[in-house]
A = this chain, B = another copy of it.
């Protein structure tokens, strides 16, 4: 195996039946070895509300008590993961849905309760991804579809951030294959002008990033994303691309790489 693509989708695809149908066909048609990582979307919040379980978000992260862990396990690992797997099978892609516990592909570490107690929330440290098993599945013609529920190493599960899972999975397999990571979201890429969807910055590298930051062209929420992408490239990924979920197989969006 020479190349592998790790592709992450979030709420704009998962929550939108038409967008999901389009994405599933595109993903099935993506050539070569590939792994899909998906986030949760609004269905966990909706199910929590129906069950009278309070949803608490702090800085965009879901506080996950024992009841909420059951909800996200049901929604992410059950409903959404299996819905995507069944649709991919129908599109001719031999998908297998996984949490971190399945074939122990990813072990997370429960986040410390200070300064904020997020409950059953985990972070993924170096070496916590079983890249060999993921690559073995790919080589067997099976396409892993990974949700953001990870194994805690002690018989339980943890709720994790799907962007972090995608990055960790990509780094895990990058020891064994040339790896490209793609974040699919609801914009065309990193934009020079947030009000102009045609202003995508095609390439970000360590060389042009300082100017983009100092010129306030990249700011706010995009800074940690680009920082993380550059760090992941420094640690072994070939590239990180940020693009619209409808552009998975088109040569557009913003590509972050080293050269």
Copies in the complex: 2
Smallest CB-CB separation from A87: which chain B residue?
Answer: B155
Checking B50, B74, B94, B102 against A85 with a beta-carbon cut-off of 8 angstroms, the contacting residue is B102
CB distance from A103 to the nearest CB of B (A): 5
Inter-chain contacts of A95 with B (CB < 8 A): 101-103
Query: Are B154 and A90 in contact (CB-based, < 8 A)?
Result: yes
Q: Tell me what chain A mostly uses at the interface: helix, strand, loop, or mixed.
A: helix
Q: How far is the CA of A102 from the CA of B76 in the complex (A)?
A: 15
Chain A, residues 229-247, CB within 8 Å of chain B (1/0): the string is 0000000000000000000
Interface size class of A (residues with CB under 8 A): 35 or more
Whether, in the assembled complex, A182 has its beta carbon less than 8 Å from a beta carbon of chain B, the answer is no
Contact A103:B96 (CB < 8 A) given known A74-B75, A78-B74: yes
Query: Are B151 and A86 in contact (CB-based, < 8 A)?
Result: yes
Residues A34-87 near B (CB distance < 8 A): 47, 50-51, 70, 73-79, 81-83, 85-87
Query: Are B82 and A149 in contact (CB-based, < 8 A)?
Result: yes
Smallest CB-CB separation from A150: which chain B residue?
Answer: B86
Checking B89, B91, B103 against A101 with a beta-carbon cut-off of 8 angstroms, the contacting residue is B89
Residues of A within 8 A of B (CB): 47, 50-51, 70, 73-79, 81-83, 85-87, 89-91, 94-99, 101-104, 133, 136, 140, 142, 149, 151-152, 154-157
The 7 closest A-B pairs by CB, nearest first: A78-B78, A90-B155, A74-B74, A74-B78, A86-B101, A96-B102, A96-B103
5 A-B contacts (beta carbon < 8 Å):
A50-B51, A86-B156, A87-B155, A96-B98, A133-B142
